[in-house]
């Protein structure tokens, strides 16, 4: 590929992403780290600035076999038709296979349940158009054909999807409602975390509303609505505003120690962040019909709320 004038000064990974390759920018970066992409015969990194007339050669790795097997795992189906399926994901379920989770994922369960997802949206993540963290429960929509996948993905890209989470936070929100508008990027001190304290990053917006306050233990039930859908966005925003989500081991550093019984026992039983994707709204990818779904927090979160509401000490 020869770099045209309109791409002069662009980053190498952005130039390649604009060429219609079936690789994400993160995959392209991985290829540059493996010296599979050369500019004028020399290996270059993803951020290399290209010039007019540069020759870019991409030596892609051999495709890896999908190796995905259907598994009869339980699924809480909220809605299903020929184009899509809406699920109420349980906490602890990983969405798609990864190096640490080669099986037992939502993708494996979908392959068993739907039976005909091969290649929809990619061989490694068939049907997946968005994700929830492993330990976040709640609503997800998955596509069952390529047309639905493209249409739903476009809605997520344009941020026209309605998404609202319920979270129990530790702290006392200063206002009953507000919004966090920040940058979002990888935390340089911990690759598993994200932060708003970066010089360059993607735009992230979370609007929130306090639904209930629990004065004794200094907690609140909040609703968080996403204008953007960045990784760990809700968890990061509340943590960096002194309202970490209850039992979030990565962002909260909050333990049950010091809490009175029976609240302490209920928090220990959570074993995950108190975060639930409660509302999901979108246009049906085939009919254009508005669709909206709502589910209540799961039993472990409900138990904590029950104790907080009762004022038990």
**Rounded CA separation 242/170 (Å):** 8
Rg (CA), the chain: 22
Active site residue 133: yes
Strands 137-143 and 84-89: antiparallel
CA 146 vs CA 67, 106, 118, 214, 312: distances in Å: 20, 18, 10, 46, 51
Question: Which among 133, 135, 248, 300 is annotated as catalytic?
Answer: 133
- Residue ranges with strand state E in 106-161: 137-143
Contact 301, 168 (CB under 8 A): yes
Q: What is the DSSP letter of 123?
A: S
| Of 225, 245, 226, 227, nearest in space to 235 by CA | 245
196-204 contact pairs (CB < 8 A, 24+): 196/236, 196/237, 196/240, 197/240, 202/228, 202/230, 203/228, 204/180, 204/228, 204/230, 204/233, 204/236, 204/237
**Rounded CA separation 288/272 (Å):** 36
User: By CB neighbour count within 10 A (0-12 exposed, 13-18 middle, 19+ buried), where does 67 fall?
Assistant: exposed
Contact 70, 111 (CB under 8 A): yes
User: By CB neighbour count within 10 A (0-12 exposed, 13-18 middle, 19+ buried), where does 189 fall?
Assistant: exposed
Task: Give the residue numbers annotated as catalytic, written as ranges.
Answer: 133
């Amino acid at each position: 590929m020869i770099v045209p004038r309109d791409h002069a000064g662009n980053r190498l990974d952005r130039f390649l992403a604009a060429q219609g390759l079936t690789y994400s920018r993160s995959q392209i970066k991985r290829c540059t780290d493996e010296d599979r992409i050369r500019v004028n015969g020399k290996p270059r990194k993803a951020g290399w600035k290209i010039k007019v007339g540069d020759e870019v050669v991409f030596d892609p790795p051999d495709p890896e076999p999908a190796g995905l097997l259907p598994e009869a795992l339980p699924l809480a189906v909220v809605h299903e038709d020929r184009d899509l399926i809406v699920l109420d994901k349980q906490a602890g379920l990983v969405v798609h296979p990864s190096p640490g989770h080669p099986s037992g994922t939502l993708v494996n369960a979908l392959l068993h349940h739907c039976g005909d997802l091969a290649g929809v949206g990619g061989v490694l993540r068939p049907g997946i158009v968005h994700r929830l963290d492993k330990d976040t429960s709640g609503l997800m929509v998955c596509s069952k054909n390529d047309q639905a996948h493209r249409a739903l993905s476009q809605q997520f890209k344009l941020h026209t999807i309605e998404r609202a989470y319920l979270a129990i936070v530790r702290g006392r929100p200063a206002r009953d409602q507000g919004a966090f508008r920040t940058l979002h990027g990888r935390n340089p001190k911990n690759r598993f975390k994200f932060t708003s304290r970066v010089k360059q990053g993607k735009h992230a917006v979370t609007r929130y509303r306090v639904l209930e306050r629990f004065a004794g233990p200094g907690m609140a039930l909040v609703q968080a609505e996403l204008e953007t859908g960045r990784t760990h966005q809700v968890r990061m925003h509340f943590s960096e505003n002194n309202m970490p989500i209850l039992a979030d081991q990565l962002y909260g550093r909050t333990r049950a120690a010091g809490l009175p019984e029976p609240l302490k026992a209920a928090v220990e039983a959570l074993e995950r962040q108190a975060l639930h994707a409660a509302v999901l709204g979108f246009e049906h990818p085939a009919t254009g019909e508005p669709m909206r779904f709502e589910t209540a927090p799961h039993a472990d979160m409900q138990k904590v709320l029950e104790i907080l509401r009762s004022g038990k000490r």
